[in-house]
Amino acid sequence: MRRFQNFYIDGTWRAPATADAIEVLSASTESVMGTVPHGTAADVDAAVAAARAAFDGEWGATPPAGRAAWLDKLAEALQTRAGAIAEVIAGEVGSPITMARNVQAGLPIAVTSSYAKLAREASFERELGNSLLLREAYGVVAAITPWNYPLHQIMAKVAPALAAGCAVVLKPSEIAPLNAFLLAEACLEIALPPGVVNIVSGTGPVVGEALAGHPGVDMVSFTGSLRAGRRVSALAAETVKKVTLELGGKSACLILDDAPMEKAVAAGVKNALLNSGQTCSAWTRMIVPRARQSEALDIAVAAMAALALGDPFDPATRLGPLISAAQRERVEGYIARGKAEGARLITGGGRPEGFARGYYVTPTLFAGVAPGAAIAQEEIFGPVLSVLPYDSEEEAVNIANGTIYGLAGGVWSADAARALAVARRLRAGQVDVNGGRFNMLAPFGGYKQSGVGRELGEAGMEEYQQVKSIQR
């Protein structure tokens, strides 16, 4: 049980404005595994004031090399807590412990280190004719983050903001906030200058909205649902803040007719079901040649069966529970809707036997899904994969592009040049060709209603900078 009674504000633990607390439930046992304070607008005011003082003072005057040194220290402090971070996230999110160690704990550490390197090596000014172009920090940044990859999403905002020279007020998801308080402990351990990072837990309608509309905040970086992103944008517009948004996805795994079907389908299933499907960039639509649909379905069923569903703390587990009862109900609602719309349920579709507690849903596969069906258009955020058949390459590309989203995708072909040509036609921010590996330094973000702006790498840091031109 981890109980946090104070916020991390101005470099120290600070008592909240009220005694209200938020209970954090284990995804696999449904029991309370911790508590955090329930923030208010008054707590946001205190955090923003601390961030403003830091930005206007010592932190704002710290050169890039100095900021890089602090990021190195922070990465080291997170590394010493990697085991605890993995265990906490396996509990509050339900991520299998092996994946939690490698991704949920490992990736944010690597991202933090990457920004230390970028802060040292990036150019913050350059000559253009008779002008000197400067990249300067935006100022006070509100970072509002989700629950599915909680610490990674936090550090994908906090690390580049600090590298750029900004100060941050973080609101972690109220569903999975405990990991953010481990970050606070790391900041305290290294004695990060006061106000550089501030953490206020609470709900979106209270803390999130207070941050988005706060006149002392210069920029908002939000990751979450499309609905919430629209609300954040509307509130931020009142004070003309910069807003970056990483929202939903309905990504396609497009398998061309010459593709190695066994490899492509198996990889597509693993991608779609990573973190029990609670991944915004998951390939939740598998687009296959109609003549090979039966073959693809057989491979997909076998691939799903090979992913062991179980206790997230069992090293053999590959699929854990969903994060909450509400999320499970949402996923079950979409499964029911898929059946009602005429899609063929091939496997899964219910709750597994042998799990008296925990928010589990069996891996679910639908076939013959119409491109306009709800399960092919709307983000489900669960272990549900839809297979859509096509008759021509042109139709396949149209299906892949035929949603309001454009976050990610994959293309498979025996001909690498053909796969690349199709990848160029997809309206998505990231496309993997024949299983291309994740690149932490490549920009991450979406087209269309998947969002605005980019995270990770140099492009991610530039989001937190303004450009000034000085003519001489």
| Catalytic residue set | 246, 280
| Phi, psi values for residue 300, rounded to 5° | -65, -40
Distances (CA, A) of 461 to 89, 230, 469: 26, 23, 19
- Residues 203, 207, 208: CA angle, nearest 5 degrees: 85
- Smallest CA-to-CA distance from 422 within 257, 258, 256 is with 256
Positive/negative CA dihedral, 301, 304, 310, 315: positive
**Distance in angstroms (rounded) separating the CA atoms of residues 95 and 97:** 6
Reduce the DSSP state of residue 170 to 3 states and report it. strand
Tokens 């291309």 belong to residue: 436
DSSP conformation letters of 194-227: TTSEEE----IIIIIHHHHT-TT--EEEEES-HH
- 324, 363 Cβ separation under 8 angstroms: no
Other C-beta atoms lying within 10 Å of the C-beta of residue 18: 12
Quick one: DSSP state of residue 452? E
Measured CA to CA, the distance from residue 52 to residue 363 in angstroms comes to 47
Paired tokens of 462: 């530039």
Taking the C-alpha atoms of residue 302 and residue 269, their distance in angstroms, rounded to an integer, is 10
Q: Is the dihedral of CA 441, 445, 447, 452 positive or negative?
A: negative
3-state SS, residue 244: strand
In angstroms, the Cα distances linking 291 to 159, 257, 390, 424 are: 48, 9, 9, 25
